[in-house]
Amino acid sequence: MVHRIAVLDKDLCQPRKCGLECIVYCPVNKTGGECIVQGEESKAVISEDLCTGCGICIKLCPFEAITILNIAEELKKDKIHQYGINTFRLFRLPSLKKGSVTGLIGRNGIGKSTALSILAGNLKPNLGSFDKSPDWPDILEAFHGTELKSHFEKMAKNELSVSMKPQAVYLIPKVWSGDVSSLLRKTDQRGKADEVADTLGLQTSLDKKISELSGGELQRLAIVAAVSREADFYLFDEPFSYNDVYQRLAVAEAIRNLAAEDKTVLVVEHDLALLDYVSDYVNILFGEPGTYGVVSNTLSARAGVNVFLDGYLPNENVRFRNEPVTFEMTAPQEVVAETSSVATYAALEKRYDSFKLNTQSGTFNRGEIIGILGANAVGKTTFMKMIAGLEAPDSGRVSTSAKISYKPQYLSSELDTDVQSFLVGISAEKMTSGLIYSQIVVPLALPKLFERNLSELSGGELQKVAVTACLLRDADVYALDEPSAFMDVEDRIVLARALQRFVRSEGRSALIIDHDIQLIDIVSDSLLIFEGEPGIHGTVSSPLAKGEGMNWFLSRLGITYRRDIQSGRPRVNKPGSKLDREQKGNSTYYYLARATASEI
């Protein structure tokens, strides 16, 4: 049995502009039931008991503030937390296993932060009783017979020690004004800080003021601090963001070492390849962002990521995505409008006071997407700016008559305007019809942001607006610097597929810098590989075929990839495993064929 109700997003509800017609035309209200009434700030409140889920109010609402929620009876029994009437509700929690790393995958706004807050002891679960919070005996009874009961028993007795790496590492300078060393001395309860800082490449930053650190340095500092605390339970909220692939692998090693010490570890992450690599088990969080979230049963890391990509939970008979995500062994060959070159460049050189970049010559073709991989601070952004005409090389030249649209790495939301006005100002025609609207604007759920001011957006929301703005401009080449930053995994998949379709069908070109190797594997036809000494010098190859480029890049990382037998996605081999040794022996770091069952 399924119970249908309408749920209101109070952030989107704007009663002064619409006159709350949802209240006037509600059929339950006409019978005296008062399904929808005015609440605080004159905004609508929808009764969860009286609403029949007829959908009339959804059609009346001009701001897409109301959605229909189907609540299965079995989920009503597993409600963990609800903030209030018509507010977000979370069903189930991830399972925790001592001596293992559990990964949690899900969209932004689907309940990951709520789940982490509950497991960390910062939010007491109310089991859906938001009027009167239940006592601990009731909570413990709700988890009777589950692996989480002992976790909450310790929490109830104030015996649970938790170490958490927060998502918002940019707030660290606001709470600590000293240098890196002083912060690590304060948090180092296990005598591990120096060892982990060395693993994560932070030794050269120990004397820096916290306020002087880059985003990547802040991220790795937060990880060192979390790992070096003494705790029963370790949580890492998006530990790979801000860092390049080399640094992400080092972070994964530090997290895996905790599990090897028989610690309980939970990781929330949007980089699927690294989440698969670091995790033993995976829970999927699915539902409706901002409305409800459901935590799946626990799966092995491989099965969990594959199920997430497939969009269907077979054991629970739940489909949470319309189409599965599949991976091609090589870049698909599609018919494009043109195959001529759109830009060529001779060997370029760019010099700064303490940094120098040298490139080999290259050509970009229409209908081609070029992925750019390399460590931080080796010149990737400098190269892209030279191609876009924003920086002039000191020697060599870029030859192109093409129009180039550039999305920078660091975004600004200083414009005092709403999202819709900003995007319509770039191209009103493309915003109301055509490929961009159907394949970018709608799949990235931008209509729900239209009334929001740019200054109010989160990092992921602002990123989606910036990528869309770049693609709305009339251009031949789209240069996107870290487009997946702050985006959740679903949006990354949508972005990758949409870019493929747009670039190839329109005969355009794209350059994409990103540290999510799985995204680069999905979207790229060819690759540019950057090497060098970060902050000192960088070099870049000519464009390479994707297989050749990936093999070269992974050999520098010292890791090997195999293809999953089921989904075809790239998976990182465990260091020292039989397949890892065999591929390194054959110099096949990037495996194009699907693995066999014996190689999983």
- pTM for this prediction: 0.81
- Cα–chain center distance at 395: 38
- Lowest-confidence segment of 256-260, 415-419, 591-595 by average pLDDT: 591-595
How far is the first Cα of the chain from the last one, in angstroms, to the nearest whole number? 39
Q: Model confidence over 239-280: pLDDT tens digits? A: 998 899 999 999 999 999 999 999 999 999 999 999 999 999
| Topology alike, domains 83-310 and 344-543 | yes
Dig out the tokens for 593 from the structure: 């064929």
Mapped onto helix, strand or coil, the DSSP state of residue 449 is helix
| 4 closest CA partner among 92, 64, 69, 65 | 69
User: What are the residue boundaries of the structural domains of the chain, listed by start?
Assistant: 2-75, 83-310, 344-543, 558-600
> Which CATH fold would you assign to the domain 344-543?
Rossmann fold (3.40.50)
Please tell me the distance from the alpha carbon of residue 596 to that of residue 600, in angstroms, as a whole number.
7
Residue 242: the pLDDT is 86
Q: Model confidence over 553-574: pLDDT tens digits? A: 999 999 999 888 888 888 899 8
Percent share of the chain, pLDDT over 70: 94
Q: Per the CATH hierarchy, to which homologous superfamily does domain 83-310 belong?
A: P-loop containing nucleotide triphosphate hydrolases (3.40.50.300)
| 377 closest CA partner among 244, 274, 511 | 244
- Lowest-confidence segment of 62-71, 91-100, 311-320, 524-533 by average pLDDT: 62-71
What HEC string does 170-215 produce? HHHHHHCCCEHHHHHHHHCCCCCHHHHHHHCCCHHHCCCEHHHCCH
The class that CATH gives domain 2-75 is alpha beta
Identify the bridge partners of residue 5 per DSSP, sorted by sequence position: 69
